[in-house]
A and B are shown apart, each in its own frame.
Chain A
C-alpha cells in the first residue's frame, strides 16, 4: 500500500509569511504526528491528531498549529515565519490505537529567508 505522502517537498518563504504543509497518512491510519528536524535541535515532536482531534502537543509556540480532516489527512500551519523555522518537517502515521511502528513520510524542507 502507498506510504505516507507529504506536499510540497520543498518550500521557500520569507520571514513574516505563513505556510501550510500537508500530509496524507497510510490508508486506514487515523493518527498523524508532526515533527520538526533542525541541525541544532534534532527531531522534535510537534503534535499528534487522531479523528480530527489533537491528542498530544509538544513544546512549540502557538504559531505552530495543525488540523486533521475526516479522511485523516492533516495539515500543519506556521504563522509569522521566523528564520529559525527553517527545517525539515516530517509527518508520521499509525493506526492510532495499538502499534509498534510509526511510518514517516519523506518530509517537507522549509527554508525561511
Chain B
C-alpha cells in the first residue's frame, strides 16, 4: 500500500468547508484512496473512496489531482460533530477475499471551532 502524508492537525470554523489534504506520491495505478474518520473513543467510520475521478456522497466530496499524487477531502458545511481524526488510506480495492487489512497512518486531527 502506498504511503500517505497528512497534516497532524487542522482547525475549521463551524459552518465553513473543511478541506483535508493528503499526499500519496507513490500511488500505483490500481490503488484507491479511502477516507475514514474516528470520533473520540469510537470505531473508525468509512467516509468515501475513489480511484481517479472526483467523488461525492452524503458525507463529503473527494477531489483527486490529475496525476493522482494527492487528494483533498471536503466536508462542505462542517459541524461540531465532525470533530474527529481523519485517516487517508491508499490501498488496492476492493476489500475481500482475505484482503481486508486497512493500514492506518497517524491521520489529521480536525477540530471544528464554534
Contact = CB atoms under 8 A, between A and B. Distances in A.
A97 B99 CA distance: 9
Nearest to A97: B96
Interface string B84-114: 0001000001111111111111100000000
Contacts of B100: 31, 33, 48, 55-56, 92, 94, 96, 102
Interface stretch (A60-68, A71-79, A104-112): A104-112
Interface string B28-40: 0000101000000
B108 to A, nearest CB: 13
B104 A42 contact: yes
Label chain B's interface by main secondary structure.
Answer: loop
Contacts, number: 77
Ordered nearest first, which 7 A-B pairs have the shortest CB separation? A104-B43, A55-B98, A43-B104, A101-B46, A98-B96, A45-B101, A97-B96
Contacts of B94: 98-100
Given A43-B44, A90-B43, A107-B43, A99 B95 contact: yes
Interface residues of A, number: 31
A55 to B, nearest CB: 4
23 contacts: A4-B43, A31-B96, A33-B102, A42-B104, A43-B44, A45-B103, A55-B100, A56-B100, A58-B101, A88-B41, A90-B43, A92-B44, A92-B102, A94-B96, A95-B96, A98-B95, A99-B96, A100-B93, A102-B46, A102-B102, A104-B43, A107-B43, A109-B41
A28 B32 CA distance: 25
B40 to A, nearest CB: 11
B45 interface: yes
A50 B102 contact: no
A56 B99 contact: yes
Interface in B40-63: 41-46, 49
